[in-house]
Structures are given as structure tokens and as C-alpha cells.
Structure 1
Amino acid sequence: MDLPLTRLDAEPEIMPAKKLSACADGVFAALSDGFVTQAVAALDLDFDGIRGDFHAGATRRSGGREPWYPRGTPMRNERQISIVAADELAAIARGMGIGEIRPEWIGANLVLSGVPRLSMLPAGTLLFFKHGVTLKVDSQNGPCRVAGRSIADHAGMADREAGALAFPKAGKRLRGLVAWVEKPGRIAAGEAVSVRVSEQWIYRP
């Protein structure tokens, strides 16, 4: 006979699921060599990501973000799409002491508006685009020195390496999200997005 589960003394606080509304203010793709993107009218996505984009592919090779694998190990590509918010980019620019950071400079594919603290959306959040695409958030996108150097170059900073070092500090928890394609299709600039955040809790074993 199965016994009922005993309720733990300290149950975790459960934050209820919620829905938010957003807009894809800008869409960008890296259609040539390198990760820097350029504005496009729309993004065509399949299960590999954005067709022709620098980060497209069902798999990718591990790097510094995955120290548990030898560098270059083939793994699932959960970083197909880079998503940022204009207000967070402005905050990073202030922290770096420059006038602006454009989404293209750091390889962003989507600029979303309407979601407070976009970078804090939890893993598993679903983004339903009006014309049918669904993206699933994997994690925050950690700011790196490579993107910092790109910012320094585009912003005309006198010290390129200072920019490379400043971006990881100023961009922590503000650099946006990475996501992968759950349902393919086309995303157009100006498209409405329904954001669905699942229940959340802090796991304390």
C-alpha cells in the first residue's frame, strides 16, 4: 500500500504563473561572417534558428560557458536567438560611460519592449509571437569580453581592452536572454508577443 507523501516543514514559496505583453521593436540577423547583426524586415526561423544567421544550428561547440566539457565538444544549441531590451542596453551604456549601445554591436536578434527587467525572465519562459513563432528562453546571456570589444570599436572608445573589461561588469544581469526555437515561422518588426512565465520557486534541498 502506497503511503501519502509527508509534507515538508518548510515548503518553498511558489510564485504563480503570469502573462505579459510585449512587442518586437526590432529584428536583426548576422548574415555574414561574425556575430555582429544588422536590422532586417523579418526573421525566418526553423528548428535550427534564424536561417543563415551566425548562431544558427541544431548544435554548437562548447566554450568558456561550459567548463564541464572540453572546449569544442558538440552540444545542443540553446543559444540560437539573442534577445535584449533598450532600457537595459541604456543602463549598460551608462555603466560603461558611453552614449549608447546598439543591439547590433553585441549580436542581438530581437529587441523586446514592454517587459520590466527583461533579463530576469526565468528559464522556460515562452514567447508566443502573433504570427505563430514560439521561442523558449534558456537562460540569461552572460556579457563577455568579445562583445565588449565590439562595443568599444563601434563606440569609438580610446581603450579597446578597457571596453572589453567594462562590459562584463556593467552588463551583468542586464545583457538579455538566449532562447531557442520551439515553433518555427517568421517574426516581423513590430509584431506583438505574449510572454508566459511559468510558476517559480527557489529550490532548497
Structure 2
Amino acid sequence: MLDLLAPLNGEPQILPARKFTGRVAGLYVAPADHFETVAAETLRLGFEGIEGDIHAGYTRRSGGREPWYQRGTEMCNERQLSIVSPDELATVAQRMGLAEIKPEWIGANLLLAGVPHLSMLPSGTMLFFKGGVTLKVDAQNGPCRIAGRQIAERANMPDIEAGSLLFPKAAKRLRGLVAWVEKPGTIVAGEEVSVRVPEQWIYGA
């Protein structure tokens, strides 16, 4: 029988959609003046993101991640929430010689357990929370020196500058994801999440 998913004559590879479940292991919100988050029992989300969070908003200003725009250009805010994995944080901590890296230190809003290779979930992945909220993944969250410095300071590393430089290397493709709110509502700690990975088209031309 013809395999309809097999690439033909060098055409893009197509991977089937997948679905599995995870669990909310932690919730966090950032004050309006700093990216470091604090633990919360619930997150109230509107279309603009988390109420009161520093990254909330329908739009945001471009930065170093968008070199194609002049810095400070107003653009759509697809980075309303930061999502991380306990397993990946543990790996990064081990690489940096630390006992732990807390989600709060790097400004995470959501700690999602039970999802293998969280940071590798592709753009367009949907997160359906049992309470009704839906988030859509935009992309990986690239590790930076600012978060690295925060880790180095909070972990009392002897060389703060070295720690800030080490984090981007240790956390490459392990820093988690950024996402935006497709369907608002309230997320609670311990809530089940249905993760739906879309059909992927591996463009190789």
C-alpha cells in the first residue's frame, strides 16, 4: 500500500499529528517591573495574556530576537507566556553545576510536567487545559545572558559573569517555549493539559 506520509522525490517530509497529556506542576506571575516571577495558585488569562504580568499585552516592542525590525518596533505579542519543563530545568542545572534552577529565576509562567522534550514542541502546538483555557505555542524561548545572570545571582555562583555566559550554552534548546492565549480563562495548579502536536511539514528544499 502506498505510504501517503512518505516523502517523494525529495519533497518535504510530513510527520503525523500527535496527542498526549501533561500536568500543571507550577504557576507563576511576574510583577510589572521585573521579569522574575513569583508562585501563584491560579493564573487568570485574557486575550492579552496574564493579568498584571510584565509580558501581558496585545502587542510588544521588538528586541534582539527580531533583527529584521528596528529595535522598539511595535508588533504582535506572541510571547505572552513562558513555559518550562522540570526535567529540562534539571538538565540545565546539572550542566551548570547547580543543585537546581527554579522556574521563577528565569521568568517562567507555567511549569508543565509529563511532556517529553517540551522545548522541541513545534510552533502551532495547542495546549488545552481541562478548565477551558487554550494556549498556542509560538516558538522555542532562546536562552539569554539576562536570564543567566539572574540564575547566577540567585544560585550564588562565585563568578556571576561566567554564570551568565554559561546559561545560553547549557540551556540551548532546553529553555522552554513561548505561547499566546487563544482561549482565555483560569489555569489552576495540578490541572491536566491535553497537548496536541499538529501535522509537521519538514521543509528541506
Q: Per the shorter chain, which TM-score range?
A: over 0.9
Q: Residue 101 of structure 2 aligns with which residue?
A: 101
Return the offset for 1:32: 4.2
Give the partner amino acid of 1:145. Answer: R
The 3-state SS of whatever aligns with 2:115 is coil
- TM-score, normalised by the number of residues in structure 2: 0.95
Residue 49 of structure 1: aligned partner: 49
Residue identity in the other structure for 1:41: E
* Alpha-carbon distance, 1:28 to partner: 0.4
Equivalent position SS for 2:150: helix
1:174 corresponds to which residue?
Answer: 174
1:77: how far off? 0.6
**What CA distance in whole angstroms lies between the structure 2 residues aligned with 1:162 and 1:17?**
41
Amino acid at match of 1:125: T
SS at match of 1:201: strand
1:3 is matched with none
Corresponding position of 1:60: 60
CA distance, structure 1, for counterparts of residue 55 and residue 163 of structure 2: 23
Q: Which residue of 2 aligns with 1:158?
A: 158
Q: Where in structure 1 are there 5+ consecutive unaligned residues?
A: 1-6
Instruction: Provide Cα deviations, 1:22-79, integer angstroms capped at 9, x if missing partner.
Output: 0011000002420000100100000110000011001110100001111101011110
Question: Corresponding residue for 1:84?
Answer: 84
Alpha-carbon distance in 2 for matches of 1:182, 1:66? 23
Equivalent residue number for residue 70 of structure 1: 70
What's 2:123 paired with?
123
Give me the whole-angstrom Cα distance separating, in 2, the residues matched to 1:199 and 1:182.
Answer: 19
Q: Which runs of 4+ in 1 moved over 6 A?
A: none
- Percent of aligned pairs sharing the same letter: 67
C-alpha contact (below 8 Å) 2:145/2:164 kept by paired residues: yes
Shift of 1:158: 1.2
Query: CA separation in 2, counterparts of 1:99 and 1:72?
Result: 37
Q: Does the CA-based 8 Å contact 2:105-2:147 persist in structure 1?
A: yes
Q: Distance in 1 between matches of 2:95 and 2:9?
A: 43
* Alpha-carbon distance between aligned partners in 2 of 1:83 and 1:161, rounded to the nearest angstrom: 25
Q: What CA distance in whole angstroms lies between the structure 1 residues aligned with 2:159 and 2:11?
A: 51
2:153 is matched by which residue type in structure 1? Answer: D
The CA distance in 2 between the partners of 1:170 and 1:191, in whole Å, is 30
Give the match for residue 185 of structure 1. Answer: 185
Amino acid corresponding to residue 201 of structure 1 in structure 2: W
Task: Give the superposed CA RMSD.
Answer: 1.1
Q: Distance in 2 between matches of 1:94 and 1:41?
A: 28
Residue 27 of structure 1 is matched in structure 2 by 27
> What TM-score comes out, normalization by structure 1 length?
0.95
User: Which one is further off, 119-128 or 7-16?
Assistant: 7-16
Gapped runs of 5+ residues in structure 2?
1-6
